[in-house]
Every structure is written in C-alpha cells, then in structure tokens.
C-alpha cells in the first residue's frame, strides 16, 4: 500500500472571522519569561572556603553548613556576609543557640534594635513571638520588610524557631528581581519617587489606640525611596510593602493606591521566592534591604514560639 504525504492546509489563505476583543484587568500580573539575576552586574563570584553553601533555589536562599554560630572568627564573618549578599537569606539547620548567642552572632553586623511594639524576650533587643492559643492574632502573614517605618530600617534580622508542633513555612522574596522585572513604563514612573511609611496601619488592626498613641512621637511617618539602592551590592530593590507603606508622595490618593497595589504584588511572584520549612532550633538570617518575607499562619490552634534580633540599618537612598 502506497503511503501518501498528509495534506497541509495554508490557513493564512483562508477567510476567518475577526478575533473578538478581550481585555484583562489593568495593572495585572502577566505570564512570560522573567529575568532571574542572582548577582549584581560585574560581581565576581568566588568559591567559599570556610563554609558549605547549599542553594535552596536558583535565585535566593542558601542553607549554610559547617558553621558554629556561637564562634565566629572575622574571616568567617566576612564569608558569611558575602553569602548573605549573594543569596539574600541564609538558613542554619539545627543551630539551637541560646538567645545570648543569637545576640552575639547578630552583633557582628552592627548594633541591635529595640522594638517597643513587640513582646520582649530575654533582653530589650530580643523580640519574642509567642503565637497560637489565646495569644494576639498573627500580624506577620503579609508580605513585608521589617520596620520600614523607621528612619533607618533594619539591615537584617536573625530569627530562631524555639518551639513548634507543626512545621512552619516562611517564603522570602528577592526584591531586586521584583524591580528588574517591572515594565519600563513603571520604572520610569517611580524613578526618584518617595513613599511614606508609618507603623500605625500595620498594627492598628491588632492593637487599640491606647497602645499605639504613646508611640506616635517615637515613630513619626517617614519617607523612603520607592526604589532603594543596596549599600553593599549597588542593586536596585523595590522598597514598598503592604504593612507600612501608606502612599507615594505627590500623587493623588487613587493614583497612589493603584500604583502601590501593583508594586506590592511583585513580591507574590513564585519565581522570586524561596520557601523555608522550619524545625525547632533552625535559624534564618535575612537581608532586610533586599528581601520581603511572609510568615504563613498555618499553625492554629498550636503554639509557635520564635525569637528575633534585628540589626540597625542605614538611611535608604
């Protein structure tokens, strides 16, 4: 039996009905190839000599092995700092350090902040998150960078999970990637723009005026660049968040709300994220200048206890 070639029809030559109009919501998130650039342009990547770095994804997040956080020589501190700049968030499995050791580790990067809005741990600069049961409902399950309502927001934070009956999950997003992938038209709109940050929106849903009003003079509203420059890597990072950014200076409220809504949604893109699954005793150290994070509220009614120390930062520019 003879085999014949299939008939190929040139559909471009056939008449067809016009394609119906289809609109998608303005300022939406669209599919397509995304630029995932882990390192700054021109950055010279070198092997690590004192630590084992296990990437948790192609863009952000690395587990660090072979380190005793209670003993940090200067050369080891420098190598960990390079890893932090290159991976934005570092994870230390089963570190199980004391609160004082946690403080000592963080002090290698600068002085520690106190935060009167949060529960105190074993020292004034240790924050204790004791969640579940009858505790205050969580206020971390939204994408945010820490304390951007300060004139000098935190450089970073070191958090240890002390107690958990169920595995905890924290996604962390790379806000340099979020900026890189903005449409050029949006980059032009926010070039040089500044936004107001205030602690009240992030806490007023959980605390009454009697708790917040006395702190208003301590934490007045501040303005920061919508896009900040990382002081060590030079990367440009998107620096607005749902918890504390209230409006963009010089814009009408409706325009500001619409643009901020689009900008804060950039952290939601999975390609920009790493998801860390915690066990008690694990430690995470994130660069607050380069990332946002989201504490997943999936543990009720079980108790979850964590302690955090935050390292004072610089004025964003």
Beta-carbon count within 10 A of 170 CB: 21
φ and ψ at residue 223, rounded to 5 degrees: -115, 140
Is 302 catalytic? The answer is no
The predicted pLDDT at position 7 comes to 54
**Rg of the chain's alpha carbons, rounded to an integer?**
23
Given the residues 103, 125, 146, 224, the one annotated as active site: 146
- Return d(Cα 55, Cα 91) in angstroms, integer: 10
Which element (helix H / strand E) includes 47? Answer: none
pTM of the model: 0.91
Q: Secondary structure of 258-304 in the HEC alphabet?
A: HHHHHHHHHHHCHHHEEEEEECCCCEEEEECCCEEECCCCCCCCCCE
The predicted pLDDT at position 14 comes to 65
**Which residue ranges in the chain fall short of pLDDT 70?**
1-14, 133-139
pLDDT in tens, 148-159: 999 999 999 999
CATH of 52-311, one of 3.60.130.10, 3.30.70.260, 3.10.290.10, 3.40.640.10: 3.60.130.10
Mean pLDDT of the chain, nearest integer: 92
Q: What is the DSSP letter of 7?
A: P
Domain boundaries in the chain? 52-311
Is 198 catalytic? The answer is no
Given the residues 103, 125, 144, 282, the one annotated as active site: 144
pLDDT in tens, 1-14: 444 555 555 555 66
Is 230 catalytic? The answer is no
The predicted pLDDT at position 241 comes to 97
Given the residues 197, 235, 293, 304, the one annotated as active site: 293
The predicted pLDDT at position 187 comes to 97
Q: Which residues contact 200 (CB under 8 A, 6 or more apart)?
A: 212, 216
- Return d(Cα 175, Cα 156) in angstroms, integer: 14
The predicted pLDDT at position 1 comes to 45
Given the residues 228, 235, 304, 308, the one annotated as active site: 308
Is 162 catalytic? The answer is no
- CA nearest neighbour of 92 among 161, 139, 23: 161
φ and ψ at residue 264, rounded to 5 degrees: -70, -25
CB 195, CB 251: distance < 8 Å: no
């Amino acid at each position: 039996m003879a085999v014949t070639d299939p008939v190929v029809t040139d559909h471009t030559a056939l008449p067809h009905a016009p394609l119906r109009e289809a609109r998608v919501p303005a300022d939406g998130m669209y599919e397509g190839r995304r630029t995932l650039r882990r390192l700054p342009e021109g950055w010279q990547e070198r092997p690590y000599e004192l630590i084992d770095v296990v990437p948790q994804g192609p863009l952000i997040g690395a587990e660090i092995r072979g380190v005793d956080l209670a003993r940090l020589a200067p050369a080891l501190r420098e190598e960990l700092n390079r890893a932090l700049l290159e991976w934005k968030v570092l994870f230390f499995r089963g570190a199980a350090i004391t609160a004082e050791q946690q403080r000592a580790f963080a002090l290698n990067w600068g002085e520690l902040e106190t935060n009167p809005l949060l529960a105190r741990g074993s020292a004034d600069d240790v924050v204790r998150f004791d969640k579940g049961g009858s505790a205050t409902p969580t206020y971390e399950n939204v994408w945010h960078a820490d304390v951007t309502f300060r004139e000098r927001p935190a450089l970073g934070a070191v958090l240890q999970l002390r107690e958990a009956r169920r595995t905890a999950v924290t996604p962390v997003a790379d806000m340099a990637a979020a900026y890189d992938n903005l449409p050029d038209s949006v980059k032009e709109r926010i070039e040089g723009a500044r936004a107001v940050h205030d602690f009240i929106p992030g806490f007023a849903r959980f605390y009454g005026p009697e708790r917040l009003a006395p702190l208003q003079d301590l934490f007045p509203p501040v303005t920061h660049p919508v896009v900040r420059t990382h002081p060590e890597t030079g990367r440009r990072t998107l620096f607005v968040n749902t918890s504390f950014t209230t409006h963009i200076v010089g814009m009408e409220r409706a325009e500001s709300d619409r643009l901020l809504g689009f900008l804060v949604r950039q952290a939601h893109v999975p390609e920009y994220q790493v998801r860390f699954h915690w066990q008690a005793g694990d430690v995470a150290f994130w660069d607050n200048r380069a990332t946002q994070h989201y504490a997943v509220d999936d543990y009720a009614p079980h108790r979850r206890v964590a302690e955090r120390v935050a390292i004072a930062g610089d004025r964003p520019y």
